[in-house]
Amino acid sequence: MTRTVSTTPFDDQKPGTSGLRKKVPHFRQEHYVENFIQAIFDAAGDYKGKTLVIGGDGRFYNREVVQIAIRMAAANGFGRIVVGRSGILSTPAASHLIRKYGAFGGIILSASHNPGGPEEDFGIKFNTANGGPAPERVTKAIYERASTITEYTTSDEADLDIDINGTFETGGATVEVIDPVTDYADLMEELFDFESLRSAIARGLTITFDAMCAVTGPYAKEIFEKRLLASPGSVLNFMPMEDFGGHHPDPNLVHARMLYDQMMGDEATDLGAASDGDGDRNMIIGRGIFVNPSDSLAMLAANAHLAPAYRNGLKGVARSMPTSAAADRVAEKLGIDAYETPTGWKFFGNLLDAGRATICGEESFGTGSDHVREKDGIWAVLLWLTILAETGKSLSDIAHAHWAEYGRNYYSRHDYEAVDTEAANRLVEELQGKLGSLAGTEAAGMTIAKADNFAYHDPIDDTTTENQGIRVIFENGSRVVFRLSGTGTAGATLRVYLERFEPADGDHDLDPQAALANLIKAADEIAGIERHTGRAEPDVIT
């Protein structure tokens, strides 16, 4: 029976860079989940009788919220609800299903790369009919609705058995529980030449994929080991766990250290890759070489034509502002447009929908294409595998040839995590206050050419988004960007993005931290990082 429940609003249901992310105990407060889901439905428009996709990355609390979401979706009048078996869907797979089934949208339960467990993180995100994260205007409307909500609609229907595929009728809606992997794996077979990848693997091309005890395990097993016949054991940590085995499912040099160490040693395979909690991020490592995400984006764009889906070329390339400009150089050579957007995959949606960009990427280990409207970890790995298979070259050779052609954008991101929020805000305010007077001054012996706070004008819907990160650009072309993360759940995370260009005929084999040493010094001089945060060193360097 459908029933209306009285509630009072919470004042903190403001979606961040990617949905609402909080600690599990916070989400477990009475009405907290229901309020937010109702706010999504109320803000999202006319969905009566339409299809909703529901799934998540399998983290702790996923199963309970899937049942709540099913009950509420049915009670609110959705006609059809498509759920990944056991409540599982990787974020790119959910994006694909929304598009494939012509759904009104999807609710994706994930806190991405953040840790999981009873005291750890949880998240709820709404994706719209194009398969992409809800744009700013929708997330704003959700927040406004959540801030004034007085009731939500649910039902007394019992929990459904979501551990078997099948079709159920509940609360006036049809619920389809489907295999979470098949549609996605089939899509990958359409984009890439699996036959040719299989023969390259049979000839000896090897891969190690670390699923980090997160959602991509079953996807990677199916695609790499079952369909491409990579040797059993190529996929590591493939059993999704509610707490990700106690680790951060964050594919970077700190949290995917085991894979990194393997790839730097005698046990290295031709390609090493990892993805995150919900399967949208990727980390790429070759034998003895880590490729940072900004370079990976540029190299994928330069070589994408080797895969059937991109044989006819790219329409454009887009990157988030803090991502290095390496991809811009490729776009210039290819004679296609390059776009610079704020951090957040949602900003790529319009460009992809309008056919302006084919490949997008971010420094935060995200790359994807117009096949879905989310970044896609396994897609990036398959494109790299294709490049290795088609060229017969090592990843190191490909990277060095790339830098010899385009030059190298030495790049690193320094994260200061769980910083006192007030201290972080003071740092940003102080920086903002002196933006106008920085040009012409020196830091670490380098002259500042320009400093601003990045604003983005969307060429498709004409909206402007301001305050997206403070950029300090030096006369020698180097750059430091300061931004506060929009995905953390404890205090503030200060991100400092560092970039220095080394021309095509320069030295491309420096340790990035050494190559950027002067810029690191300049960043502290300009922003007073240690003075404000009390931290002499970042917590995570990628």
Catalytic residues: 112
Pick 157 or 362: Cβ nearer ligand G16: 362
DSSP state of 8: -
Position 373 contacts ligand G16 (CB under 6 A): no
Pick 20 or 446: Cβ nearer ligand G16: 20
Task: Starting at the earlier edge strand, list the strands of the sheet with 289-291.
Answer: 235-236, 207-210, 271-275, 282-286, 289-291
Q: How many CB atoms lie within 10 A of CB 169?
A: 10
Pick 2 or 485: Cβ nearer ligand G16: 485
- Using N-to-C axis directions, what is the helix angle for 293-303 and 377-391, rounded to 10°? 50
Buried b (16+ CB within 10 A) or exposed e, 365-403: bbbbbbbbbbbbbbbbbbbbbbbbbbeeebbeebbbebb
Position 465 contacts ligand G16 (CB under 6 A): no
Position 538 contacts ligand G16 (CB under 6 A): no
Give the nearest distance from C-beta 327 to ligand G16 in angstroms.
15
Position 344 contacts ligand G16 (CB under 6 A): yes
Position 250 contacts ligand G16 (CB under 6 A): no
Q: Which of 59, 248, 414, 495 lies at the binding interface for ligand G16 (CB under 6 A)?
A: 495
Cα separation, 304 vs 299, in Å, equals: 8
Q: Which of 345, 403, 410, 411 lies at the binding interface for ligand G16 (CB under 6 A)?
A: 345
CB 270 within 8 Å of CB 373: no
Give the nearest distance from C-beta 451 to ligand G16 in angstroms.
20
Stretch near ligand G16 under the rule CB under 6 A, chosen from 30-38, 98-106, 276-284, 295-303: 276-284
Stretch near ligand G16 under the rule CB under 6 A, chosen from 55-63, 340-348, 389-397, 453-461: 340-348
Position 18 contacts ligand G16 (CB under 6 A): yes
Pick 84 or 469: Cβ nearer ligand G16: 469
User: Residues in contact with ligand G16, total (CB under 6 A)?
Assistant: 18
Strand partners, 409: 501
Residues 391-420 that bind ligand G16 (CB under 6 A): none
- Residues 470-489, one symbol each (x = binds ligand G16 by CB under 6 A, - = not), give ---------------xxx--
Give the nearest distance from C-beta 139 to ligand G16 in angstroms.
12
CB 113 within 8 Å of CB 251: yes
Cα separation, 77 vs 71, in Å, equals: 10
Tell me the DSSP string of 470-533. EEEEETTS-EEEEEE-SS-SSSEEEEEEEEEEE-TTS---S-HHHHTHHHHHHHHHHH-HHHHH
Give the nearest distance from C-beta 529 to ligand G16 in angstroms.
17
Give the nearest distance from C-beta 294 to ligand G16 in angstroms.
12
Position 366 contacts ligand G16 (CB under 6 A): yes
CB 138 within 8 Å of CB 43: yes
Pick 2 or 17: Cβ nearer ligand G16: 17
Strands (E), 277-356: 282-286, 289-291, 316-320, 337-341
Q: How many CB atoms lie within 10 A of CB 131?
A: 25
- Closest-CA residue to 82 (of 99, 59, 57): 99
Stretch near ligand G16 under the rule CB under 6 A, chosen from 224-232, 252-260, 341-349, 533-541: 341-349
Stretch near ligand G16 under the rule CB under 6 A, chosen from 275-283, 294-302, 400-408, 429-437: 275-283
> What would the two tokens of residue 98 be?
């929304």
Give the nearest distance from C-beta 183 to ligand G16 in angstroms.
21
Residues 107-146 that bind ligand G16 (CB under 6 A): 112-113
Site residues for ligand G16 per CB under 6 A: 17-18, 112-113, 276, 280-281, 320, 343-345, 362, 364, 366, 485-487, 495
